[in-house]
Amino acid sequence: MKQPAIYIMANKAKGTLYTGVTSDLVKRVWQHKEKVIDGFTKRYGCTLLVWFELADSMEVAILREKQIKGGSRAKKLAMISAMNPQWNDLYETIR
């Protein structure tokens, strides 16, 4: 079953951030971790899932992703710290 989600990957605590949207969070995070797709996360080593949010539809997820991407870095850091104060890799919690 597909479940739209917005997520943020990082290369370390308070490091480089990548915000994305997907219909299969487990598969997409695995792809980032294994660096199977060329792009930003592979280039910058963003392999830690530090934040995610589930959405009711892909349309809602895409709008939320745009909202997050349009926000400041400080807002993203605060959002991550509120959900995940230790900046742990949340991948094991979604598998």
pLDDT of residue 77: 98
pLDDT bin (cut points 50, 70, 90) of residue 12 is very high
Where do the H-state alpha helices sit in 1-95? 25-34, 40-44, 58-70, 73-83, 91-94
Task: For residue 10, report the phi and psi dihedrals to the nearest 5 degrees.
Answer: -140, 160
CATH number of the domain to which 21 belongs: 3.40.1440.10
Range of the domain at 57: 5-94
The number of distinct structural domains making up the chain is: 1
CB 76 within 8 A of CB 8: yes
- First and final C-alpha spacing in the chain: 14
Give 65-83 pLDDT, tens digit per residue: 999 999 999 999 999 999 9
